[in-house]
Chain A
Amino acid sequence: MYIIIPSKDTVNVRGKISVCFSQPPEYTGKKIEKIYGIAVFYVSCIIYKAAGGKNRMKTENKNAYMLGIRHGWPIGVGYFAVSFALGIAARNAGFSALQAGVMSALCSASAGQFAGITLAASGASYLEMAVMELIVNARYLLMSCALTQKLDSKLSTGHRLLLANYITDEIFGLSVTTSGKLNPFYSYGIITVASPGWILGTCFGVIMGNILPSAVVSALSVGLYGMFLAIIIPPTRTNKVIAFLVPLSMGASALFTCLNDRDLLKMSGGNRIIVLTIVISLLAAIFFPHAEETDCTKGVKK
């Protein structure tokens, strides 16, 4: 167990993440700091270019970007905790910190990565890996379909290519529940603080294994669920269908999990999410079509 002490440069490097560590013997943080520096530089170059190159970023985009950063930092902290666990799994499977970090940068999908790590460790074929990822991540297909409706139809392909890599449960949840059209810079703001949390958490999980006290890991791991609640609960006050759907979905999910635990049903966690989402949303759409643009997100305070 190492004593947790904040030191000046660790705070600077990790910015929003307040959990800091003293250097363990096999500390390879210098490498990670370099990678993080390059990554942040690269991302800000893309954003700068997208914002119009030499011209200053439009005020509207800048405001959206700053709002994204403000809303995004709890995601970053939550990601750090979750991906720390992911890093420990990757370490046990024989991944290096660099490999795990690159994987997190390219995939940002908790369930998909967990599945991928397990398969890689068992020496699965590439086809198996591809099919597994397709199944586990199928819900992102639905999310992508929903998100594209939130975007201006004239939004350039460049923005779409960048946004696509960050359709995660949390970033999607925040992006899709904004009122009106989504300004991509809002999402970029979230990504700027959330993605490093995810990548660094994975790397540190590999490097430091089980150093973080388990009580802290346990407490941090509900942070993401707290965010989900803050997204789905407020609209239940103004939209009766959602007020009905949220408890129904939770109940159905609990029932399926229960059946699964008792071997009455063979369905993976990923499949349960896909099947229930499609069935419940489709039934709701058929029987209670959503009245256009009665803005039920008004009640959402973020």
Chain B
Amino acid sequence: MKNHYWSYILVMAAVTYLIRVLPLTLIRKQIRNKTIRSFLFYVPYVTLAVMTFPAILGETASKWSAAAALLVGAVLAFFGSDLMVVSLSCCITVYLVELFL
């Protein structure tokens, strides 16, 4: 155990928490500006899409298993499957594809 790591952890925690807490506590009123509202509405979809692809391809042992999982997940989600079903199907797809690769 390295004791000076505790101060690193403290710095990390402080910065990370400040980033998250400041807007949440300081901005309380409804923002009326339509452009800002639209921007904030689109942020989660865009950011999750950007984070999903192509990062998912590097996440598994093989590119192809991840690509198969992406396809299975997208199709299931499009046809309205449950969050948990989509998530587990992706995992099972990867496991099965890697079994046969």
A interface residues with partner B (beta carbon < 8 Å): 71, 73-74, 78, 94-96, 98-99, 102-103, 106-107, 109, 112-113, 116, 119-120, 126, 129-130, 133-134, 137-149, 151, 153, 157, 160-161, 163-165, 167, 169, 172-174, 176-177, 214-216, 218-237, 241-242, 245-247, 249-250, 252-254, 257, 269, 272-273, 276-277, 280-282, 284-286, 288-290, 292, 299, 301-302
Q: Which 10 A-B pairs have the closest CB atoms?
A: A226-B90, A106-B13, A233-B77, A249-B49, A226-B87, A285-B38, A250-B53, A164-B21, A285-B39, A144-B23
Q: Which of A164, A173, A288 contacts B48 (CB 8 A)?
A: A173
Interface of B is mostly: helix
Chain A nearest Cβ from B86, distance in angstroms:
4
Given contacts A164-B20, A223-B87, A250-B53, contact A218 B77 (CB under 8 A): no
Report how far A242 CA is from B82 CA in the complex, Å.
Answer: 20
- Residues of chain A within 8 A (CB-CB) of B15 are 129-130, 133-134, 137
Chain B nearest Cβ from A23, distance in angstroms:
21
| A233/B74 in contact, CB under 8 A | yes
Given contacts A148-B27, A219-B92, A241-B42, contact A276 B11 (CB under 8 A): no
| B23/A221 in contact, CB under 8 A | no
B interface residues with partner A (beta carbon < 8 Å): 1-2, 5-9, 11-17, 19-25, 27-31, 34-56, 59-61, 65-66, 69-70, 73-74, 76-78, 80-84, 86-95, 98-99
| A232/B87 in contact, CB under 8 A | no
A-B contact pairs, 8 of them (CB 8 A): A149-B27, A229-B86, A234-B77, A234-B80, A284-B46, A285-B35, A285-B38, A301-B81
Report how far A288 CA is from B98 CA in the complex, Å.
Answer: 42
Given contacts A218-B60, A228-B51, contact A246 B45 (CB under 8 A): yes
Report how far A160 CA is from B69 CA in the complex, Å.
Answer: 36
| B11/A126 in contact, CB under 8 A | yes
- Residues of chain B within 8 A (CB-CB) of A107 are 9, 12-13, 16
- Residues of chain B within 8 A (CB-CB) of A112 are 12, 16
| B24/A160 in contact, CB under 8 A | yes
Given contacts A134-B15, A215-B95, A229-B73, contact A221 B59 (CB under 8 A): yes
Report how far A174 CA is from B12 CA in the complex, Å.
Answer: 25
Instruction: Return the chain A residue nearest B89 by Cβ.
Output: A226
Report how far A144 CA is from B24 CA in the complex, Å.
Answer: 6
Chain B nearest Cβ from A175, distance in angstroms:
10
Chain B nearest Cβ from A185, distance in angstroms:
16
| A133/B11 in contact, CB under 8 A | yes
Report how far A286 CA is from B73 CA in the complex, Å.
Answer: 31
Interface of A is mostly: helix
Q: Which of B5, B14, B22, B48 contacts A232 (CB 8 A)?
A: B48
- Residues of chain A within 8 A (CB-CB) of B30 are 149, 153
- Residues of chain B within 8 A (CB-CB) of A246 are 45-46, 49
Q: Which of B5, B50, B80, B92 neighbours the largest number of chain A CB atoms within 10 Å of its CB?
A: B50
| A164/B50 in contact, CB under 8 A | no
Report how far A228 CA is from B91 CA in the complex, Å.
Answer: 13
| B11/A226 in contact, CB under 8 A | no
Q: Which of A147, A235, A276 contacts B50 (CB 8 A)?
A: A276
- Residues of chain B within 8 A (CB-CB) of A161 are 21, 25
- Residues of chain B within 8 A (CB-CB) of A277 are 43, 46-47, 50
Chain B nearest Cβ from A270, distance in angstroms:
10
